[in-house]
Structure 1
Amino acid sequence: MSDGHGPTPETPSGWSAEQPPPYSAPPASPWTAPGSPQQQAPAAPPYVQPPQQQAPYGPGPQTPYPPYPPHAPGPQPGYGYMPHAPALRPGIIPLRPLGLGDILDGTIKLIRSNPKAVLGLSAVAALLAAVPLAVGQAFLLNAMGPALTDPSSAATAEAELGSLYGVLGQYGGTLVSYAVQFVVVTLLTGVLTRILGRAVFGGNISAGEAWQLVRSRVPALFGVVGLMAVIMLVPVLVFVLVMVAITLNASADDLGWIVGLSIVFAIAYIAYYLFFRTRFAFASPAVVLEGRGPIDAMRRSWHLVSGDFWRVFGILLLTSLLVGLVAGILTVPFTFAGTLLGMFGSSSVAATVISAVLIAIGATLGAMFTYPFEAGVAGLLYADRRMRSEAFDLVLQTAAIEQQRQGWVHSSADELWHPSNSARS
């Protein structure tokens, strides 16, 4: 057996047939003693390429070097190309202009990063708004139940619903629910926006701390919501007054065009509502994060939406559809069970109470998901518009680098949202 240093019967020069020798004689082994027969052996004859092998540069599959990997299709980067560094992401979003996926993902991360504050506050707000509505609906169903099971008692049920007590039961709960919702949702939007402002930098803030920061902005928040309510309700009130006047002076032959006019108004009002809701979608974040007044915040929102109206409109509309779908899935089973129990529960007090509880649970679950998701999407869209129109991402990135160097998120990060810190202010 040969160790590869001396000649072998197959190859006198000491190289195997599978591995051809180099173009010169192999050097002496470093482990051979000076003057030994192996060191004094004559040099091997020069290498002659076997005739069956192809020339180094001739055609054939064999090449002296391994082939390069195939290039991907498309234009190749030029000389000196350096890939872009990934955007900083200290918190729930990358600090760069956001896409739809970033906004939805950031909203989910907002809920997951601080579930006690976000979901807890949302559940309390939803429950406060759902209870009056659930009580009113349970009363209405309880009154309608005997008429469905016993047609002879329909007149009694109708008289009961037409009484003052019945009217209060039908509409009182709805009006109280809307009033409570007006208050609690306004406050909840402000608190959630402040939590979001800190979560962008990777910081967490408790519900109590967020409330302390938002408390001074509550009047301005109610001012924004009140102005929005006026803008949305004035056309409806005007149309109702006009229709009442027309109906009082119309004949039976005019019913067709009155119905047609109502349909046209409904379509026009939907467009009107969506337009102004999109234009003023960033008013609440401007109040909370920038410290603006109601009118100034609405003007600020109008300015931020300008130039990107259809994108903002599309994201808000898609969010409403997604949220409505999920909220419906959570709400429908409880509402359906409460409705059946209220209608066919023998009009007992226990059945009415259980029906109200089930309806309230369904409404609470749906709203508990709806409130934070809509507030989160609006807040992140606001941040995205500032990044795109004011290069605000540069400010956020600089602050994030400094906070990473310090190792914690200081409360002064909330002040960075002020427009004076924008790169193009």
Structure 2
Amino acid sequence: MSDGHGRTPETPPGWSAEQPPPYSAPQASPWTAPGSPTQTPYGQPYEPQGEAPQPPPYGPPGPQPPYPQPGHPQSGHPQPGYPQPGYQQPGHQQPGYQQPGYQQPGYQQGGYQQPGYGYMPPPALRPGIIPLRPLGLGDILDGTIKLIRSNPKAVLGLSAVAALLGAVPLAVGQAVMLGSMGDILDDPQAASAGLDSFYGLVAQYGGMFASYAIQFVVVTVLTGVLTRILGRAVFGGNITAAEAWHLSKGRLPALFGVVGLMAAMMVVPLIVLALIVVALAMNVSSSEGVGLTIGVMGLFVLLFIPYYLFITTRFAFAAPAVVLEGRGPIDAMRRSWHLVTGDFWRVLGILLLTSLLVGLVSGVLSVPFSFGGTLIGMLGGGSPGSAVVAAVFIAAGATLSSMFAYPFQAGVSGLLYADRRMRGEAFDLVLQTAAIEQQRQGWVHASADDLWHPSNSARS
């Protein structure tokens, strides 16, 4: 019997008697507990005889609205074997569908790299020539080259002046010696050949010692100035040679003190060796003395090489400590010893590799000029013109090679010093904080030089 709307009393509200339910009658849910009633096609509970009525598992009995039934994909009740939206079966990837709330390993979201397979941390700040984090060998060499390229007028200009001052006396002495050798080649029987040879040797060794004395002064000054330029270049700032000299000249006495102390450490063993050789020559016969002297000198060389490497490595950071931290000579050497402790072999290896690279490049730059000057001096017959041309060629080769060697060695030493402070004192945190502030201001303030003071270390 119809109620006037095409429904019978058994038809649930919202369903027509002429049409089947939208999704057909559902099957009994496999998740129904044993003993609980199932549902009829129209939602009426089915009560087995002999058992007490049980409440339906999903609500009170009665007519059900035409909502998705259990087992349908739009329902909230999962059915075995049917994947639900938002649910990913293990080992199965729905094509073109990204699970909500799930990021694949290495997936980039909003500029942030999610941890997982292929995860790479965000790059460190790099306002200047190096990244503000502990440095590797590549960072140190690359930063040294960037130091030269970022401020070539100050770095290469000052290096060229220092190299020329040290190369001129050596070039003059070698030119005089080559001229005397030319006279000997022209007339080996000449009476004055021996005297000319003596004068040539005196000129050569005199020029060599004069060159070393000048280099002692100019290289010490150059190291201080280049270290000051490097301290500013780490933050991306450039300063002129005049400004670098103004900031560094007050630290020159302490720099000379450091270089003098290190030179004394090298000379004292040589003095001891000379005294031993003299004592052996006075107390033994000539035949025995020659062999014993050679043996003593060979043993000294074997012992002096590791001693030299130890001293130069332990005090490699004394000059940066003097210029950037404002320390005195003894305090700077003590500071360098402390920074090298715990990483001696790495510092030694990088310094040796730097010396090897500098030696190779310097040789390539200087050999053509030295070879040309030698030929001109020997074949010129001792004439003043050939001596001058030979001296010019030799000085040009020495200047060109030293102009590259000085800033490269100073740059590696300064960046190694910064690396040791970042590794041992968390100094990179100080540098990063300053770099962020500089980025906000848009320029590098001169007060950035004060950040190198040891009081600013994060673990001071």
TM-score (norm 2): 0.75
Aligned to 1:217: 251
Cα gap change, 1:81 to 1:364, in 2 (>3 Å): closer
Aligned to 1:124: 161
CA shift for structure 1 position 386: 0.1
More helix by share: 1
Q: 2:186 aligns with which of 149, 154, 161?
A: 149
CA shift for structure 1 position 254: 3.7
Aligned residue type for 1:146: D
Q: Which moved more, 1:241-250 or 1:377-386?
A: 241-250
C-alpha distance in 2 between matches for 1:360 and 1:381: 31
Number of residue pairs aligned between Structure 1 and Structure 2: 362
Partners of 2:280 and 2:289 within 8 A in 1: no
C-alpha distance in 1 between matches for 2:342 and 2:136: 16
Q: 1:316 aligned to 2:346? A: no
Structure 2: give runs of 5+ residues left out of the alignment.
1-22, 24-80, 84-91, 99-103, 107-113
Residues 327-366 of structure 1 correspond to what in structure 2 (within 5 A)? Answer: 327-366=362-401
CA shift for structure 1 position 184: 0.4
CA shift for structure 1 position 253: 2.8
C-alpha distance in 1 between matches for 2:115 and 2:366: 57
CA shift for structure 1 position 340: 1.0
C-alpha distance in 1 between matches for 2:168 and 2:316: 28
Aligned to 2:31: none
SS at match of 1:151: coil
Partners of 1:189 and 1:284 within 8 A in 2: yes
C-alpha distance in 1 between matches for 2:434 and 2:331: 27
SS at match of 1:329: helix
Q: 2:262 aligns with which of 213, 221, 228?
A: 228
Partners of 2:105 and 2:119 within 8 A in 1: no
Aligned to 2:65: none
Q: 2:137 aligns with which of 95, 100, 116?
A: 100
Residues 20-169 of structure 1 correspond to what in structure 2 (within 5 A)? Answer: 65=95, 83-153=120-190, 155-162=191-198, 166=200, 168-169=202-203
CA shift for structure 1 position 264: 1.2
Partners of 2:255 and 2:319 within 8 A in 1: yes
Partners of 2:124 and 2:131 within 8 A in 1: yes
CA shift for structure 1 position 408: 0.2
CA shift for structure 1 position 157: 2.1
Structure 1: give runs of 5+ residues left out of the alignment.
1-23, 25-54
C-alpha distance in 2 between matches for 1:63 and 1:305: 54
CA shift for structure 1 position 247: 1.6
Cα gap change, 1:352 to 1:412, in 2 (>3 Å): same
Partners of 2:232 and 2:239 within 8 A in 1: yes
Aligned residue type for 2:160: A
Partners of 2:169 and 2:208 within 8 A in 1: yes
Aligned residue type for 1:281: A
CA shift for structure 1 position 300: 0.2
Aligned to 1:284: 319
Q: 1:262 aligned to 2:267? A: no
Q: 2:425 aligns with which of 390, 410, 415?
A: 390
Look at both structures and tell me which one has the larger radius of gyration over its CA atoms: 2
Aligned to 2:239: 205
Aligned residue type for 1:182: F
Cα gap change, 1:71 to 1:211, in 2 (>3 Å): closer
Cα gap change, 1:67 to 1:348, in 2 (>3 Å): farther
Partners of 2:105 and 2:116 within 8 A in 1: no
Partners of 1:56 and 1:64 within 8 A in 2: no
* C-alpha RMSD of the superposition: 2.5
C-alpha distance in 2 between matches for 1:161 and 1:79: 75
Aligned to 1:300: 335
Q: 1:187 aligns with which of 212, 216, 221?
A: 221
Cα gap change, 1:158 to 1:400, in 2 (>3 Å): same
Q: Deviations over 1:36-88 (max 9, x none)?
A: xxxxxxxxxxxxxxxxxxx999xxxx9973699x999xxxx867997422100
Aligned residue type for 2:196: E
CA shift for structure 1 position 314: 0.2
CA shift for structure 1 position 370: 0.3
TM-score (norm 1): 0.81
Q: Deviations over 1:353-381 (max 9, x none)?
A: 00000000000001000000000000000
C-alpha distance in 2 between matches for 1:402 and 1:371: 33
Aligned residue type for 1:216: G
CA shift for structure 1 position 159: 1.7
Aligned to 1:51: none
Partners of 2:170 and 2:204 within 8 A in 1: no
C-alpha distance in 1 between matches for 2:94 and 2:207: 87
Q: 1:419 aligned to 2:454? A: yes
C-alpha distance in 2 between matches for 1:254 and 1:248: 9
C-alpha distance in 2 between matches for 1:353 and 1:245: 44
Partners of 1:56 and 1:63 within 8 A in 2: no
CA shift for structure 1 position 176: 1.2
Aligned to 1:403: 438
C-alpha distance in 2 between matches for 1:326 and 1:185: 19
Aligned to 2:53: none
CA shift for structure 1 position 145: 1.0
SS at match of 2:235: coil
